[in-house]
Amino acid sequence: MAFAESVLGSLATRARFPECERAVGNMSLDTIANMLSALKNASMASAGSIELPYFRQGKEILEVFKQRGLVNELKVFKPEGKDYKYMHVDLATGADGARRILETRRISKPGNRVCRPYAKLAKVKAGLGVVVVSTSRGVMAGEEARKKKLGGEVLCSCFFK
């Protein structure tokens, strides 16, 4: 009795597993969404401050939050021996010590940009939040953009108390 060799045994299979190629701990490329989720998580954990990687647009968004009283202090620093900067953010708390940031939302995403004229910039939860807009004159709150009659890309919103 003769035995036939397995045909499949001689074929080399090639498989790719993209999830194995990525390094563990890599953050997504949407730096604004990363910053917003870090702010919300720090606020929910009642952390007094947080350190974030520096990027220009993130600093401008945090400046808008500072104007609205969501952030007490914002410092940019470069640690010794590092090639990149960080932002140190002191989160604001209410009079009773409760967290101020309740919800953050990324509106315009890398795959779906959302641009609005100034007349269609909506208020967040009846004025209890802030919409951040990137206009031709820089990053500003939606309320300020409406007053200056500037439209632009709606970056994010933040609901606070």
Task: For residue range 102-149, list pLDDT tens digits in order.
Answer: 899 999 999 999 999 999 998 887 778 899 999 999 999 999 999 999
Judge whether residue 21 has pLDDT over 90: no
**Residue 158 — left, alpha, or beta (φ > 0 → left; ψ -120 to 50 → alpha)?**
beta
pTM of the complete model: 0.79
Residue 109 lies in a domain: yes
CATH code of 124's domain: 3.30.1490.10
Name the domain count of the chain: 1
Q: According to the model, what pLDDT value does residue 96 have?
A: 80
The answer to the question of residue 15 being in a domain is no
Q: Residue 155: enclosing H or E segment and its boundaries?
A: strand 152-160
Residue 3, classed as helix, strand or coil, is: coil
- Looking at the domain assignment, is residue 89 inside a domain? yes
Residue 66 lies in a domain: yes
Mean pLDDT of the 1-26 span: 56
Does residue 53 register a pLDDT over 80?
yes
Identify the domain containing residue 72 by its residue range.
Answer: 29-160
